[in-house]
Structure 1
């Protein structure tokens, strides 16, 4: 068992020496600054044939003023840091806490049980170790717990104790991440000022909402407009008839809310957050509109008291909510009346305080005291009980007179004896008693009973970081026999700094992940994001990254196959190696190659169009056998090129494609309107025009075509020439131009003659086919006709063979995933093309004219 200083005595060491951490100091790191570890008791648990070492720690909270035992299991021994500790169980030392021993035999005499809150007992065993003084450590452990009980209950009966164990919620089955975040709250929590206006008025069954007088002297006090209003009304309408008429009561409540909203501070937009009513008692919460989005978990409840408890002519209503990270509660109560009923008023308070619960997820969980900031207002009905024979002070017009009266204030006296409102604070009263007045006057009761003046209407608060700015009564409002009261507070609200929170959360997640994975195979990577920068069509880019094995065993890894495209990565990526093994303390370099080529650019463009924001190239999943997966993002920026774009997209451009951003090209690709700037793509025309001028040098340029074959060495220069609409000399050969032409036709996701490929293949004559050709979009139709004109003229000159041309271009223009599985697909494609490129006579050629560069001008 360890107790006392967190560090060993370092008197004999040098001043520069760092003190060695003890078990106590390591355990203390798992708790918050206001929580103290008093001692640690070593205990183990037996499960089956195994035993598991652990620690029982006795901890107290200065904010809660309570003690608890928290059970830890050890993830490794000896302890090297707080990450080696895992919380198993929490035992608050409350009225139901029990520590029992079992002395049935030598086998179990070192066994004991802990239980609390009707949970099943947890069994522990201990090693019988003697202290230096000869006593048994277990007996000392039990004695320390008894001492804690005496401290908490201060010699009183445990059944009368009101113990605050809220601080333990941070350690009960909430997960390691939340525990660590709670412990480090001071690093990301800030406190923001808000102004809260609390007001109370017993309206004496008067429909004051219906009068022409303003309520602004009451509700618009203070220099600064409040952020939150909490307005409590009593005796809203307490006649028997009204209390039995729900519709009438609701009408009164609605009118009061309307009247109050009309009389708040000017220049601020307010809205009703919540209202709650118990017959004559009503609480209205109003907030600034911009504050509403920060309020959650708003709940209401009521507790009926008085003669008619089912109707609630007395009692309390409350509203609970969370603002940022702070829980706030407002209570409006109307307690028992008459001078002599002090005990009844105390009982009413206690009943409201103990019975008020706020539902959370279908359970009655939060109490009034389970809040950071509590404001209790209302007609509390405590009177000025002057001693018999005491002469009442004269005119009540100054603070000295008020203070003389307040010496006999029942509420102050009862609070001093802890009979009510324990822990609450009330500001200094410098205003006249608020009850009882002749209605319509500032004159105290002149009726038959001549009731003594009293401070019935009060505002109290409980919690930290609350500063009262004003507390006053409003004498100029005379519609009731009570005067309205208000109090203004500046409250520092616990608020999460999102930037700091993300930083702490990132560190906590890393620490928890490390703790959870210490016993698992794992590797680390030096580059979770692989950035390729600018990627261009047909230009490979290579990036390498390293993986390391820093655990104490061999690790096997492989990249996980994804459902689509049923491979470890997209077509435009290649990863090497795809799997490997890492010995202890070893590393491996992995190469990722990016190539948007003829086989993959269509898929890349499709993915770009289907992604709403920036499109990453891929996410690789590095799977560690028996360990956790590592996700590696592959990203970069694709430089748009004409290759892979549809004819329609290219006809919508107004400048070279190389000058467009990817976002701009994406917008053009998604455009489905039949609006085009040119009738045919300029890039297509540039290639046809060049080839047309090479008459006599075109033999053999269309001998074969296979998109899977590597492109020629001059291709990228041709790509740049097309993407910039260059005026320079064509940078390639006729063979390169032919290669580029076929790619322009073959790479778009949809074939040139779609959506009529099936229909065209089913035709038996050129005339039938032309009817479908005319239905194509303008760019596709023009490209097809000019292509046929160009090919027909080349065949006529003898530059290439008609059958070969029909076969190659038929497959490209009529490519179809459905048709190409049929036996006669290729022959039907060739037959179709033959109709449009066969030489019959000049008048039958599509377009009716010979080919010239002028005829192709767009």
Structure 2
């Protein structure tokens, strides 16, 4: 729930609290503080004059075989014998005079960002540039736009009032293989004569239990944090700045107590890199501002055989707002690369000989990270110190002996530290062989970085000089922009496939200017959800240029409206220039419909691939309301006249049938990420043809099935039955009754999927699946809360959805 506190002399404050139980004590404290404030006032106040609070509800958002034809048109049973069931298969005026210069503000802070806890944003959700920004930078508020420009000019004149000072950063990384701390960590954390100013310590595989994928709490977290705090450098006192943990990865930051005052802002963010960002591993980011420097700490996990994602792509996806081009950013990166991709491609005996005699040079060209960096596929602009230590993987736990297990892993440098930035000097890069808790050895790097410290006296003088200059310039000049292009066409836009166009804007005026994309009248965002402009705002000096990228990406949030024809690849962007005019940029193109994001009812009435269906007929199929569709099935205009609808969509059947025939024994099914190229190929095949086979790996087909279910505009268990499902989750008989009320195609798909999941559990020894994991994964896809649900879904509600699905997987037989 959200709680808003407002008063006569304070701005509106909004707090978000996970559940009502925690909200009640908070409200009691607010009320108590309110009463104490009123009692201290000398002049009695009326009750209406006191600050008030109230609770705010959350509101969200070509050919085909004869046997297959017979299967789709006929009746389909759902017996427990799955062999029989599955055999077939998103303008200002210049200011003429000014009052005396006001006192200078504090040194320019970082751009205000929304807390990650308050937002969940996909890559293509536009930055929150609302009509508030129009007011902020529009003609009605010249003082605010002036303030922004002053901050920009202050940043450009940093050398006039900033003193550089050296700080020492200790960057540590360790894959602990799910173990608890069992030894002194001083050989790792307290190994330098002088204490570092900042500790940045990353852990991988902190918790290997299945529960770590689904729950926020882990006992391993506190064990390792306590061990780290106990063994920090003995010559200094440290204060923890931030801790972030996701699944098995944890990042914790400490700084000397005397430096904590310099840290102005702390932001933590993460990007999922597993199946749909739900399972497997994550890539974690931590950002802090130390006076005038941005420090970006990145901890990532790369998989052998899986394409490496670029640093810039991950930053874009997680919605990280980059710093100004005139502010200094220094980035550190931990990389943990899982075999076989990082394994050195030599015979183990030959590698052991090389390692015995410390002839490391011959092996450095082979690890996957080096090869990807040389190909400029990943972290190409990062640097790494010279490796002079033995490979840190893989050892027999509690020993210094190379792996002697059956897998017989070849030694490799799986734990690395990279960096980029100016005025950075690496002092140490080493492993710590003394620690034997895990099959990995910890690694650390020590850096010396020049950090900017503000001289307040000189800063005030520069500020006053800028204010005087601004007064003179505002009376003489107006800003202007020159655009290289204003019209853009995106051809053949497809679901989950990027398209990009670029143009250049030039400040052809005589004064610095601020530009930004602003919403059109009555709009809340500056563009439609499938479009994004980067950067969406910025400053330009006279004659300075900047390249702007227009990215189009159709996700699950926007695909349904495009499929039905309610939305088109058409938009107009308003590029606003402070104290200047607006520039209009037109976007046009065509979208190719996809079965992904199309309703189950529509798909069941299509015997042909969706690309062969005219758009007008797709609109006819989609326009009926959900509750009327079942009644009007025979009256609706079907794609193939005089033919019964399919029992289930052919697309679901193709995907499940492929998995049933080829993947029941597939190791780590639904737990291993797929290749993006294969996903695009699968989507294209299902949209354009009726294939005999799907040319892709089992993991890619599995993820395609999950994406298909996640993109459905109405989930398999309809929104209107969501609350009833939660109420009946404890009773198998009531659960069956709820499913019996589903529309025909939804009911068929639900039973079909449950039969398939039960079949997978017959091969748990091979595929490493269990009922809880399947129920947790599919509950979030099949039984989603309605977008207009007044009360946010709680942890208890999520558990009941899991119990509902779990009952059908292990405890309920379909009737």
TM-score after normalising by structure 1: 0.35
Structure showing greater relative contact order (alpha-carbon pairs closer than 8 Å, 6 or more residues apart)? 2
- Rg: which structure is higher? 1
Between Structure 1 and Structure 2, which shows a larger proportion of strand residues? 1
